[in-house]
Structure 1
Amino acid sequence: MTNSQSDMLQAVLGELVAFAGQPDDPLADADRWQWSMRHRGVPYRPDHWHGARLTPAQRMTCSRAVRGMATAGLVERVTEPRRNRVTHLRPTAAGLARALAGNDANQTAVTLALRKTDWGAALADEIERAVKVAA
């Protein structure tokens, strides 16, 4: 895994941890970020994750990192209809296992966040089964 891929995987993890702390209130879905997290996946926001506007070269590095992560089975790319432009990322069990290695506090938050989504409940079940087997 490249440094860019590792950084992006940690950013996805951070978004899930932040989402876990949000109220579980469908009325709060008026907030675009919460709606996206609940229904589509983690919004693809490399500028936000890096804390600054990215150059075209940096954007390309992020795009390549996401494609590589998808090819490696660490994330699923959610794209715009009729285009191949990434709008959201959904971590896979393999991606979360790598991102969460040795971090029990984040594991609890990530599982909670996944349970609050339309797309992540089965993934939360898979994480909890893996933890029980490891214990």
Structure 2
Amino acid sequence: MKNDHFELARCLVAEIEVFGELATAKFPIRTSWLNGMEHHGIPFEPTYWATRKNSRKRMRLGRTTKKLVELRHLQRLTLHRKGRTSHVVPTADFLAETITQLDVEASRNDFFAGLFKTRWGRDMIEPIREQLKPNSHGQV
């Protein structure tokens, strides 16, 4: 996997992990991020991932997203943004490769909990698990 692809993939996995860590039932008000994660895909936020001051990184993440869509590693959704990407859904293969490369840097328990909470990712859990090798701590 190319460095730019891995950089974006790392951000996507982190979003899934955070979603898995959250006790979503404790949130009385549903935010657009929570609703997006649950129903549509990972909210596409290159400004957040790159920090507002790093416009080069933000642009690089945008170009990388387009390339990964062309390579069919990501599906791009445009909800209410007039043609702009609002959410992305990575393929099971792309996520499995990313988790393997992240090794122990990724919390597999939180990652799978996050996917399980989504409508779009629940069916990916088993195909991802089948592709994963144990990490350096022996966790599958």
Cα pair 2:5 2:64 within 8 Å, conserved: yes
What displacement does 1:124 show? 1.1
Distance 1:28 1:59 in 2: 32
1:73-97 Cα distance to aligned partner (Å, 9 max, x none): 3221111358431101111112112
Give structure 2 stretches of 5+ with no counterpart: 134-139
Is 2:10 the counterpart of 1:10?
Answer: yes
Calculate the TM-score normalised by the size of structure 1.
0.80
Distance 2:67 2:35 in 1: 27
Distance 1:92 1:130 in 2: 12
1:15-73 Cα distance to aligned partner (Å, 9 max, x none): 11111001142965612211111111111111111122453x55443222101111223
1:88 corresponds to: 87
Distance 2:36 2:10 in 1: 19
Calculate the TM-score normalised by the size of structure 2.
0.78
1:120 corresponds to: 121
1:29-68 equivalent positions in 2, closer than 5 A: 30-55=30-55, 58-68=57-67
Query: Which has the higher mean CA deviation after the structures are superposed, 98-107 or 33-42?
Result: 98-107
Residue 76 of structure 1: SS of its match in structure 2? strand
